[in-house]
Copies of this chain bind each other. A is one copy, B any other.
Amino acid sequence: MIRLHDYPPSGNCYKVRLLLAQLGIPYERVEWDTRAGETHTPEFLRINPAGKVPVLETEGGELLAESNAILSYLAEGTSLLPEGRFERAQVLRWMSFEGSIHQPSLAVARFLVKFVEMTDEYRAMLRQKQKEGYVALELMEGHLEGKDFFVGDCYSIADIALYAYTHVAHEGGFDLRPFPAIRGWLERLSAQPKYVPMAEG
């Protein structure tokens, strides 16, 4: 059975759990408390030298890090990763956007609000992350206008990747009221078959 090295409050781990549930793939979970430093122990660093969850472990014991790479690996051959060459590339494009623009602002803002004791320095960082996060949200809103999903009007792993930290954006202090296209898309996502919510933490 495949194994997921996991931490429930992490949006990156949630992406993988949501996809595994929707694909009906059984798996076992190994939990590492990142906030307690468990992902920086020698034991975990053998699993991922970058000290990050999620990591997927195949039945053969092969290890795969980086949530969006795990999504691609699991979705290969299913409707959640389109066959067409250009559409596949667009899925990667939105996952790149998620990893390099969206997540560094929305996920970091959420982390600061939820888990960090505020200082002036952190408050300034939070303001900057919120500013960058609204830019990411505006790009998403503009793209989603008149569309049901991010790529080719089909539900794909690009949607799952972007859903993880968008649906908890309010936890980072973001107000989604000015983003009707995003709100409609969030509702469509949570209405997909075999949807599972994010664990609380």
Task: List A residues at the B interface (Cβ < 8 Å).
Answer: 49-50, 58, 62, 64-70, 72-73, 76, 85-86, 88-90, 92-93, 95-97, 99-101, 103-104, 139, 142-143
Contacts and interface: CB of A to CB of B under 8 A. Distances in A.
A21 B142 CA distance: 34
A78 to B, nearest CB: 12
A104 B101 contact: no
Contact of A72 (B66, B92, B104, B143): B92
Contact of A73 (B65, B86, B139): B86
Given A62-B86, A73-B86, A49 B143 contact: yes
Top 10 closest pairs, chain A to chain B, by CB: A73-B89, A69-B93, A66-B96, A69-B92, A66-B93, A99-B100, A99-B99, A69-B89, A72-B92, A68-B96
A93 B73 CA distance: 10
Given A66-B92, A72-B92, A99-B100, 11 more contacts: A50-B101, A50-B139, A58-B86, A64-B90, A69-B89, A69-B93, A73-B85, A73-B88, A73-B92, A76-B89, A100-B103
Contacts of A65: 93, 97
B49 A68 contact: no
A94 to B, nearest CB: 8
A175 to B, nearest CB: 21
A132 B126 CA distance: 19
